[in-house]
Amino acid sequence: MNLASIDPSVLRDVERVPVALGDRSYDIVIGSGLLADDACWHGLPAARHALIVTNDTVGPIYAGGLAQRLAGAYPEIEVISLPDGESFKDWSTLNQIFDALLGSGCDRKTVLFALGGGVIGDMTGFAAACYMRGVPFVQVPTTLLAQVDSSVGGKTAINHPLGKNMIGAFYQPARVLCDLDTLATLPDRELSAGLAEVIKYGPIADAELMTWLEANMAGLRRREPALLRHVVRRSCEIKARVVGADEREGGLRAILNFGHTFGHAIEAGLGFGVWLHGEAVAAGMVMAAELSERLGLTPPGLRQRLSSLIESAGLPVCGPALGAAEYLRHMRVDKKAEDGDIRFVLIEGLGQAVLRSAPDGLVAECIDAHCA
């Protein structure tokens, strides 16, 4: 039985992407106006308490509407608003969620709702995994990045000063509700950061998506609703397929980290929050494509094509000049590293990714070639 099943017949003009994980299966629901549409909120786990976890930016815009939607199902609804930013994705902020849960006498059936971007989603999911050894949670992602990537697949975490997302758990949500209308209030820089994770799916899994993005990037940046709907649905389909095949990253799921090994080094090297996650991934993808070409895995040309697409999304194609040694130091803490050996997601041909290690000297050359 699914954690929470939704009756498709009650849904109007929405997309439904299933994530097939046996008894942890759930739906990703995508559409406009979901926060105002009761039908999408039917069939969630029953409880006395619901806790909406949000932040000081998103809460004032959307928490009231969500609380209204949930009022019929949950007699007691609380909202906790955390400080906004990647630099707060840590133990002390996480503890504020536990303080709210315990302070309100929330029991083990309490349902947590993550209302915000990837930072709120990752922290709320981790809190749900830990509170009373696990309570249900629902993702209500409000950034493009969270709608196309972080809300799906059950990776939850906080950062440690020595490494990004190093403390966490695999813990699946009961449902993901992507209201495309929330993207209207997203700052341009954040929209671009989300586009980095969309672009990622092309080289690793879908050559056609890459061509489609090249043709439609300007419209996406203008936030044309049909285009946004297409990229959120397609991205979720790809992610759901990968997660369904390899939930705990025994192998295949690692491809979703294309550009992330370099990107995490940028985020940790500069200090979390200085560059946005999507910006760091964008420059990281260029470095990873360069490495793929230099190792002879992919014919020359992919790196240039990817750089052009990334640039057209308003994203950086060069990383900060931290020095290759500093990048390598952070990359050794990457979760894909084994016995200190850094493993990279590389491209073997458009739409086809592989996991490989590479000599430090060559990696350093790729970093130096794409640092400003």
Q: Which one is catalytic: 69, 155, 175, 370? A: 155
Nearest Cα residue to 179 out of 20, 41, 319? 41
Q: Which one is catalytic: 49, 260, 294, 330? A: 260
DSSP state of 149: I
H or E element, residue 372: none
What is the C-alpha separation between 132 and 98, in angstroms, rounded?
Answer: 10
CB 221 to ligand GLY: min, Å: 22
Nearest Cα residue to 78 out of 92, 96, 94? 96
Residue 336 catalytic? no
What is the C-alpha separation between 83 and 102, in angstroms, rounded?
Answer: 19
**172-204 exposure pattern, b = at least 16 Cβ within 10 A, e = fewer:** bbbbbbbbbbbbeebeeebbbbbbbbbbbbbbb
Q: Which one is catalytic: 49, 233, 277, 303? A: 277
Residue 133 catalytic? yes
* Residue 175 or 253 having the CB closest to ligand GLY: 253
H or E element, residue 1: none
Residue 260 catalytic? yes
* Residue 146 or 324 having the CB closest to ligand NAD: 146
Residue 49 catalytic? no
Q: Which residues bind ligand NAD (CB under 6 A)?
A: 55, 57-58, 84, 86, 89, 116-120, 122, 142-143, 145-146, 149-150, 153, 155, 165, 182, 185-186, 190, 193, 277-278
Tokens of 360: 């430090």
Q: Which residues bind ligand GLY (CB under 6 A)?
A: 149, 153, 155, 253, 256-257
Residue 239 catalytic? yes
* Residue 15 or 122 having the CB closest to ligand NAD: 122
* Residue 170 or 212 having the CB closest to ligand NAD: 170
Residue 109 catalytic? no
Residue 2 catalytic? no
Catalytic residues: 133, 155, 197, 239, 249, 253, 257, 260, 264, 277
